Amino acid sequence: MPSPGPSRLVAAVGSANARTTWSGIPFHLLQAGVSAGMLDGGLDLVTDTTRIRLTRGLWNLALMARGRSRGGFQYTEGFLELLWAEAPDLAGSTILNCFCLYPEAIVEDASIRKWFFIDQTLTQLFDYYEQDKVASEAVRRSAIEREAHGYAAASGIVVNSQWAQRSVVDAYGIDPTKVHVAVPGPSIDADLIRSLEPPPMRPPVSEEAPLRLVFVGKDWQRKGLDRLLRGMEIARARSAPVTLKVIGCARGSLPPELQGTLGVEWLGFIDKRLDQAGFVAALRDADVGCLLSRYEAGGIALREYHSVGLAVIGPDTGGAPEHMIDGGSVALAPDASDEEVGDTILQLASDPHMLSTMSSTSWERRQDASWSSAISGLMGIWPEGGGR
């Protein structure tokens, strides 16, 4: 916990000092920001206290007693008040919040400079991400109203894509000069990425040296693993030597007809908190990183693929295209057919120049996918060293 007094702090729903919070984004943002002299520390906002658990339970019971579906407590003012209750004295501080909401007491405190670092607005979460069922209409409406109030009171809003920027400006009426874009880096330690040697030149794709795909993600349906598996089957049926490693998604969670897809190695969950080197080694043992999301605000996996020099097949939706490196990636729309996915894999397997060019571009421009690049962009807009 940072020392009392004015500080430049990262906040999140959970501890900003923990790798487990929001896919590790606040943690790596904080590490890079401290290294650059832009940030001082992170807030430990605990989400699993006895008081929060009890209040959430009573809140859900009250909803059910009124015949309403449960869920959405995390968007209420009551949750935010409890979450921030144990924070130190923040008077005079500058806070970079990795969540779309502050408690009203923070919003109204003019001595605190409030910033946001978000991948999407709540309007996008509820509509584009189809998360409207996780909270009642009344809870969603209240949350969006308080979100707009927070944006209006903020010194600045940093979003991870122009896609999110448009929502802040158009849906919330925020002055465009207050809204800035900074694409995050990977959830991999910078020192480990810097230590990597250039990948060896691979031989032409053949049965002895197949095109090696890798997929990282837990939610097979949203992340489009089913699309990738069907496209891979099509490419293999057309004599393309292709293999796939799946990281994070459990084989048994997929439909039975996809669980036996040939050429697939199911690596399960690799905990990056404990085995970063193993995770990176699994990525490096591939040629192409794949993510075919049906909807995607960003896609940290895309940044991780590029950070180790992989060519990328990614999704042309939401903010994902802005997380990919031009020349090192191919983007496919969520409605692209299985045949189009198969054709893309087949092209990479049969065109060594295309594969080599994409891989080398990704490696040579991997700095563009780094947290240091994101922090450099933030430093250009961060006022007077963060309000000091």
Tokens (6 digits) for 79: 């949750």
pLDDT at position 6: 62
Contact 241, 210 (CB under 8 A): yes
Domain boundaries, the chain: 8-185+371-387, 190-369
Assigned fold of 8-185+371-387: Rossmann fold (3.40.50)
pLDDT at position 160: 98
- 288 phi and psi angles, rounded to 5 deg: -135, 125
| DSSP 3-state of 204 | coil
Assigned fold of 190-369: Rossmann fold (3.40.50)
Tokens (6 digits) for 11: 């906040």
pLDDT averaged over consecutive 10-residue blocks of the chain (388 residues)?
A: 68 96 96 95 95 93 78 95 95 97 98 97 93 85 97 98 98 97 96 95 95 97 98 98 97 96 97 93 98 97 98 98 98 98 98 97 97 92 60
CA proximity to 322, closest of 303, 304, 340: 303
Containing 181, the helix (H) or strand (E) segment is strand 179-181
Tokens 């891979």 locate to 232
Containing 157, the helix (H) or strand (E) segment is strand 156-159
Identical topology for domains 8-185+371-387 and 190-369: yes
CA proximity to 292, closest of 258, 270, 325, 316: 316
Tokens (6 digits) for 214: 């890798």
Strand order in the sheet with 41-42: 41-42, 8-11, 94-97, 113-118, 156-159, 179-181
- 249 phi and psi angles, rounded to 5 deg: -95, 130
- Considering the entire predicted model, what is its pTM? 0.95
